[in-house]
Structure 1
Amino acid sequence: MKILNICAYTWAIGGPARIIYDHTTVVLKLGHQVDILSPASPEDKIYPAPDGARVIVCKRTTPISRFFPEFSLELWDFLKKHIHEYDVVHCHGIWHFGSVAPFLFKNNTPKAVTIHGLLDHWALHHGYWKKKIFSVLFQKRFLKKANLIQINNHDELNDLRQYLGFQHPNVAIIPNGMQLDELATLPPKGTFRQKFGLPTDKKIVLFMGRLNIKKGLDLLLPAFQKYAQQYDDTLLVLAGPDDGYQALTERFISDHHLAHKMIMVGMLTGELKKAALADADIFALTSYSEGFSIAALEAMTAGVPALVSNRIGFDGTVAQYHAAHEVPLTVEGVLEGLVQMLQNPSYCDTLKKNAKKMVWELYDIEIVAGNLAKEFAKIQS
């Protein structure tokens, strides 16, 4: 098969780019061809591609892209000339130009869409009117026409049914996966602390993700502030690019005089990200909405005990395996979780063991990507 992925394939987009990378690595080994079509702005940093895959960068067209997300005439021209050359076109996410553009052509190329959690209640009600207009004009009509819709869990299945008003006949529940060997060996402990001058006598709570309101920073920041008032033993490290919440985070740190307790280190990649995971005592993601959190999966794969909400997209398996400490979406609930984990090392050891079992049994990318490739083969035939 020749597969075309459409996504803003940039470091700033976070999980979807990593998901495409990991899936592509497996699909190439299965003998398929993969192209990645990415709308981008000049300042965007393009995510690396596995050897053998091709990334085609299309310039976003301004000012239209400010109102029609990721609108790109170059992307349109590419599809016009080449869409017929592909066996499957795979759109990642919704509410953007790339998720509807392939449906605007009269052709028989099968089209797959991965929702990435963007139909849940929280996501639908942020930017409500913009999405409402986009839905009426394009999104709902074209989702109905998709040859395959990939979702990560049963919550997404219910969200999709509610949105469309019926159960789409071609849905595959396939979770995201991880290249498990990649995080089997981490840099020596202390590497990350040394890089950023962090004290060796403090524990580290690591938040790793885009600085966005949906990540629950409005819960984590005040909860950690309250923890720090009781215990002087821990730092909160915030690692990720700005996605609308950096200024508020900086203001919170300044207003509460927490510069020595909350450290912002920007986006981490490669060995530096692994070093952060090696030095972290716990990982924290109190998100309101995730299709399937790759950051949480990376942390659990790396053996970092995780404090998470129940909205990170694991379809109940975190609770089933007791693989992380799940907290309610309240400041008090997050605070209670921080205390329980940071003051109880044996409890964290149990979470680590359970998480390792869950990851190896359910989220090996070789199995997950192979299952999606089988679904592509079905719609191609």
Structure 2
Amino acid sequence: MKILHVIANLAPRYGGPAKAIMGMTRSLAERGHQVTIFTTNQDGPGTLDVPLYEPMHKDGVEIRYFPIQQPKFWGTSFGLAKALEEHIPNYDIVHTHSLYLFHNLVSGHYCRKFGVPYIVRPHGTLDPYIYQRNRGRKRVMEWLFEHRNIKRASALHYTTEEEMILAKPYTFDSQGFVVPNGVDLSEYKTLPPKGTFRELYPELAGKKIVLFFSRLNFKKGLDILIEAFDKIKDVHPDAHLVIAGPDNENYGSKVKEWIGERHLTDKVLFTGMVTGQQKLAVLQEADLFVLPSYSENFGISVIEALICGTPVLISDKVNIWREVAAHQAGRVAPCDSDQFAKEMASLLSDLNLCEKMGELGKQFVAEYYSWNQIGVVLEEEYKKIINTTKSRMNVMEAVI
């Protein structure tokens, strides 16, 4: 199959979606398919240092970058639009990522024009908590193109059953399927020696690390986390909160205000974005991973923590919460600081339980979230859609 994926950006600062698309496309390329990504060179206020228009290759996947233009918040790129018009007819199927962006307008239009089946991946934008934000602007885009995109898509791609349930009121009963995000298990086969991360930050010596590993963003529940951590500081004076992740929107300044108001400054460490061996080191050395998000489409960082053997505490708005709870790989709490504090204190007091959760978490991820397995399932979904589209076209030709 010739498969085209379209996404607004691939810079690491954008977190899960950019990481997920690379794993997804690589798994398909390894199965012998011709896979291409069209995207922009957007990287926050700057741009990626990548060749424009010309194809580059990574892990068997062809990637083409196009210049970002104003308004950047919309992922605007007329170079991308021109390329989509030219190349979409050459593909068997097109897979678009996220909603309410420039590439959705363009790719949906040309897929319909040239009769190419396309899949829309909402990336959590149809979760009611996110759906209601900036409603006026979104309503205009829905009227202009997004409702049409959803109604006429061959399918919607969800990463959890929870996401599909939450999105149902806004999808016009469009067909959907669930294929999760995954991890490359080989990346986690050999982890850095214990103590590697603490050596970088001497203030963590002898401390229990409570780890927040995600973008600093309004939806991540950092207000809940800071309040909950304040509630347990006297019960667990040896606990130290590590906040690791990019701060694309200067949300960290607000978080630091909350920390200062509660006199927690000497108990919280900001590392910024960590990658490579340092990422693996902090994930495996953490005593507890926490993510109290108000909305989380999947939560790839949760999976990364679990494969490193770290127990997790997540909110019931992180859409893989049911799976985590069912496999006893972590604890789940509502978006409430009292409940989060209670669960946090309980887990930090029971090292045996945390070790058991860590082992169950590794087994859980290895069984369900390997990109190799996910590539097989996604391939089957593509084949079904392509065959259905061909059958419809044959019927239409026969009628004519």
Secondary structure class of the residue paired with 1:90: strand
* 2:148 counterpart of 1:124: no
The residue aligned with 2:344 is 338
Contact (CA 8 Å) 2:209, 2:285: kept in 1 or not?
A: yes
**Which deviations, in whole Å up to 9, do the C-alpha atoms of 1:39-73 show, x marking residues without a partner?**
233624589973222222222211x334xx11211
Aligned match of 1:323 in 307, 319, 329? 329
Decide whether the 8 Å contact of 1:6 with 1:90 is kept in 2. Answer: yes
Residues in 2 aligned to 1:96 and 1:53: alpha-carbon distance in whole angstroms: 23
1:272-287 to 2 correspondence within 5 Å? 272-287=278-293
Q: Which amino acid aligns with 1:136?
A: W
SS in 1 for 2:272: coil
Aligned length: 376
* Structure 1 position 102 matched with structure 2 position 110: no
Distance 1:228 1:360, change over 3 A: same
Whether the 8 Å contact between 2:224 and 2:336 is mirrored in structure 1 is yes
**CA distance in structure 2 between the partners assigned to 1:148 and 1:32 by the alignment:** 20
Q: Which moved more, 1:44-53 or 1:108-117?
A: 44-53
**How far apart are 1:315 and its partner, in Å?**
6.2
Name the % identity: 33
- Per the alignment, residue 392 of structure 2 pairs with none
Which residue does the alignment assign to 2:305? 299
SS in structure 2 at match of 1:260: helix
2:68 pairs with one of 60, 76, 89:
60
Which residue of 1 is the match for residue 391 of structure 2?
none
**Structure 2 equivalent of residue 312 of structure 1:** 318
The structure that has the greater radius of gyration is: 2
1:352 alignment partner in structure 2 = 358
- 2:23, 2:203 → 1: CA distance? 32
Q: Does residue 1:234 correspond to 2:233, yes or no?
A: no
Contact 1:10/1:17 (CA < 8 Å) preserved in 2?
Answer: yes
Classify the secondary structure of the residue corresponding to 2:114: coil
Equivalent-residue separation in structure 2 for 1:370 and 1:315 (angstroms): 24
Cα distance in 2 for partners of 1:13, 1:124 equals 19
Distance 1:96 1:221, change over 3 A: same
SS of the residue corresponding to residue 265 of structure 2 reads coil
Distance 1:315 1:108 in 2: 38
* Further displaced range: 327-336 or 235-244: 235-244
Q: Which residue of 2 aligns with 1:41?
A: 42
Q: Does 1:5 align with 2:5?
A: yes
> Residue type matched to 2:221 in 1?
G
Deviates more, 1:215-224 or 1:124-133: 124-133
Cα distance 1:241–1:27, how it changes in 2: closer, same or farther (>3 A)?
Answer: same
Contact 2:2 2:33 in 1 (8 A): yes
What is the match of residue 84 of structure 1? 89
Q: Is the 8 A contact 2:123 2:158 kept in 1?
A: yes
Residue 134 of structure 1 and its aligned partner are, at CA, apart by 1.6
Are 1:219 and 2:224 counterparts?
Answer: yes
Residue type at the aligned position of 1:6: V
Matched position secondary structure for 1:198: helix
Q: Among 268, 276, 292, which residue is 1:262 paired with?
A: 268
Q: Does 1:75 align with 2:76?
A: no
The 1:87–1:315 alpha-carbon spacing in structure 2 relative to 1, beyond 3 Å, is farther
Q: Which residue number in structure 2 is paired with residue 112 of structure 1?
A: 119
Contact 1:58 1:75 survives alignment (8 Å): yes
Matching residue's letter, 2:177: A
SS in 1 for 2:191: coil
Query: Could you list the per-position Cα deviations for residues 202-256 of structure 1 after superposition, in whole angstroms to 9, with x for gaps in the alignment?
Result: 0111111110011111100111122223321011111111143212012223333
For 1:149 and 1:59, the matched residues in 2 are separated by 28
Contact 1:35 1:53 in 2 (8 A): yes
Match of 1:182 in 2: 187
Matching residue of 1:149: 156
Shift of 1:184: 2.4
In structure 1, the gaps of 5 or more residues are none
Take 2:227 and 2:267, find their aligned partners in 1: how far apart are those partners? 12
Taking the aligned partners of 2:338 and 2:300, their CA distance within structure 1 comes to: 26
- Provide the secondary structure at the position in 2 that maps to 1:264: strand
Q: Distance in 2 between matches of 1:243 and 1:223?
A: 24
The corresponding residue for 2:147 is 140
Distance of 1:235 and 1:349 partners within structure 2: 19
Q: How far apart, in 2, do the equivalents of 1:45 and 1:195 lie? A: 28
Shifted more, 365-374 versus 52-61: the winner is 52-61
Letter in 2 for 1:52: G
Alpha carbons 1:285, 1:307 under 8 Å: kept: yes
What secondary structure does 1:316 align onto?
helix
Instruction: Name stretches of at least 5 consecutive residues in structure 2 with no aligned partner.
Output: 51-55, 388-400
CA contact (8 A) 1:116 1:290 kept: no
